[in-house]
Each structure stands twice: as structure tokens, then as C-alpha cells.
Structure 1
């Protein structure tokens, strides 16, 4: 039974690994590093030239990447180690650029999708644990207690990256969207927070939402709404 479970998990992973999988399964008995290989662990296939701009306008150039499992910007040290910025450094970040992509730090890194003088539309992508199955007697998988809230799967400083798991762990890639004001104050995007950011355009917002169906999880629709509120009126 355990072997069958691992085969199914491997099949799911191989089927989806051509692009970033919406779901990743780490089968019991697997070493985490065997599944969370660099092409799965990071947003970009390889570390890219980047720039870290601090709030005091001091800037540093480095080879950077975005870790989809802990939501952090990682940099490659001259010795070849993969490291993350510490908390103090993160709080002092004004902007991070990785190739042509731009990130801000707002209780976590947000990738900027669209921005202008009136505000910004941001996106956060990260894998979260959605289910765990502990292996019981005779190698049978038994469902763990239900998980109501998402739990992040951290591998900060590789502290959990080389462990052998003793349960089947399922993770899903969750994408969240945020709306920001000209001062980079970001809030989860919904009608209430849109009214806070664009309080001078509430009538336009209400009119748009009456005429257009907007799914607050749909990037294309959110981008169209953002452009309408900031550029089209």
C-alpha cells in the first residue's frame, strides 16, 4: 500500500513538474530534497541578476530568486550557498528587482503586476500544506485531523529541506492578490479594501462592478479593473 501511494505521488509530481505544479505531494519515506528540487522550489529556473534597494537608497546587486515554499527572496553567495535575507534586512527593503520583475516587502514579498502614480496591484505566490496523512500500522495511510487553515511549509536555511518525511504531505500553490496605495500600503484585494484605497472613486468602482463580473482571484480581471480605476478615468 505504501509503495502504491509513493508511485501515485511520484506520478502526480512528474505530470505537473513541466510548469510550477498547482499541487505537490511529498510521499512518506521520501526525502524532502528529492521532491523539492530547485526547479520546483524556486519561481525562476535559475538565479537571475537582481538588485536590492533599501529604504536609505543603498542598493546591492546579487543573483536572486524567489522561494515558493517560504515566500522569501533568496540570494546565491559567492561560495555557492543559497541564503535568505534576515528579518532586519527585510524590514528595511524598499524594492527588489529580479531580472525584469519587481517586488516590494509588505509583511512578505509581493510581486508587482501593475503600478502607476495612483497605486499598485501585487501578487503573492506560495505553497501551503493542505493535508497530511500519517502512516499507520501495516504501512496504511491514515488521514490526519482536518486542516481548516493553510499552513506554510518553511525550509528557511534548509532546516527542513533534507528531512525524510513519515507522512504523505500535500501542498498547493496559492496565489493571493493585493491592492496598494501610492505609499505602498497593501491590503488583500476585495471590494471593501478597494473602497479604502480608491475612496474618491467609489462611484466608478460600484459602476464597474455592476457592469463587469470580477473574480478577485482572477489576475486578468483584476488588472482590467485596476487600469480602469487608475488610467481610464
Structure 2
């Protein structure tokens, strides 16, 4: 319990029994709008912020072999695994470097060195295909005549907006920031080293069968931004 207190922003996570639950929530596709000065985590509905409609019983597995069981969810705004403590507060893990992985329902999430967590979508033994879904800033709406809005690619005048990652943008008070979901696919090797899921990484990881794999990838015309294409590619590589 002392370890848990050091890893989270507030102590007191209650103990629960872990029951695997199937995922029933699809990843986000729509663009969200947050007005200047609004707190995105409070303004945007929970159904758009989290992967699961409700927090699921899950388990945080630490690198030292210990674990903690709590209600968990993945937050698309922060790119983080979050939990509910005994007081009912929704919190992010303070130091994910001490977390080996998190199990939520039937899904597994690994900490990503730069920030947040990635979700495993294909386990190939020598490597894991993972994805990170997170909202990114995708332009600004500036109110024009008759209260209409038009997307613009740059920022004008003075006023500030602090986004979900703590970055401050200068923009007019009447503007609205656009948040668009972005998916990044990454390969994780057995040493927890990450590389972008592309042809170069696959050929490096499966170098023993480089020539065969290269011919296959070219022939299949793999789209490295398509989840099903990537799953097909990594399955082929791992079965050689």
C-alpha cells in the first residue's frame, strides 16, 4: 500500500475482485470543441473522454511484482490510464515508470516512455502491436459575422487557452479550439522499446526473414495507418 501511495496523486484505492469484461466502446472519431478558458476534462462528456462507458474493475501491475486492483479506464483526452479512488475522485497515475502494465477488461495497456499508455492490439510473442489514441489540437474556430464559425490554421490577437497537456495557445477570447482524435501505431519489443509500426521497424525486428517479409509487405500493399492491415502484417512476420 505504501508503494501505491507514492504512485498515485491521492492515496486510498480500495481493493476489488478483478473480473475480465469485454470491451463495448469504440474509439472516438468526431472532432470536439472547447471554448477558450474551459476545462476540457469537465466540459466534454465522459462518453467522449473515455474508452469504456464506465470504469471497469482492473489491475495495475508494478515493475517490482506488486499489484493494485481498482476501477480503471483509458482517457482519450490525456492518453492515460485513470482510476477512481476510495473518495470517488478520478485520478491519473503520478508515475507510470513504476507500472509494468495495466489490465482493463480484456485489454492490456503498457506505459509509453514519452507520456501516457498504449493499448495492445496484437500479441506476436517477440513483439506487441500497440496503439495510442489521444485527442490532439487540430485548428481553431474563429467566430465571424452572424455568429458563424470558420476553421483557421493560425492564431491571432491576444488571450490564452491552456490545453489538456498544459500547453498555452494565444487566441482571441471568442475562439474555440478543435480537438481531433489521432491514432499512433507502435511496435514494442521484449525489452519494452518502442518503434513506429512501419516497414522499416518490421524488417529490423524480424531481420532473419527480411527478404521474405519485404516481398510480402510490398505485394500486399500494407497500409501502415490501418489497424487490420498492420495486424495481418505482424501475424505473417511472427509465423515465419
Distance 2:42 2:174 in 1: 14
Instruction: Give runs of aligned pairs for residues 1-233 of structure 1, distance below 5 A.
Output: 20-26=27-33, 28=35, 31=38, 32=40, 35-86=43-94, 89-107=95-113, 108-135=116-143, 141=149, 144-146=152-154, 153-154=163-164, 166-231=174-239, 233=240
- Inter-CA distance 124–225: structure 2 relative to 1 (3 Å threshold): same
Give 5+ residue unaligned stretches, structure 2. 1-24, 156-161
- Report runs of 4+ in structure 1 exceeding 3 Å deviation: 18-21, 27-35, 134-147
Query: Cα offset for 1:23?
Result: 2.5
Q: TM-score, normalised by structure 1?
A: 0.76
Contact 2:124–2:235 (8 Å) recurs in 1: no
Structural RMSD (CA): 2.8
Instruction: Return the alpha-carbon distance in structure 2 between the equivalents of residues 79 and 38 of structure 1.
Output: 19
Relative to the length of structure 2, the TM-score reads 0.74
| In 2: Cα distance, 1:216 partner to 1:200 partner | 21
In structure 1, the gaps of 5 or more residues are 1-17
Task: Note the alpha carbon deviations across 1:2-50, whole angstroms, 9 max, x for none.
Answer: xxxxxxxxxxxxxxxx965422232647954675111111111000011
Shift in Å, 1:118: 1.5
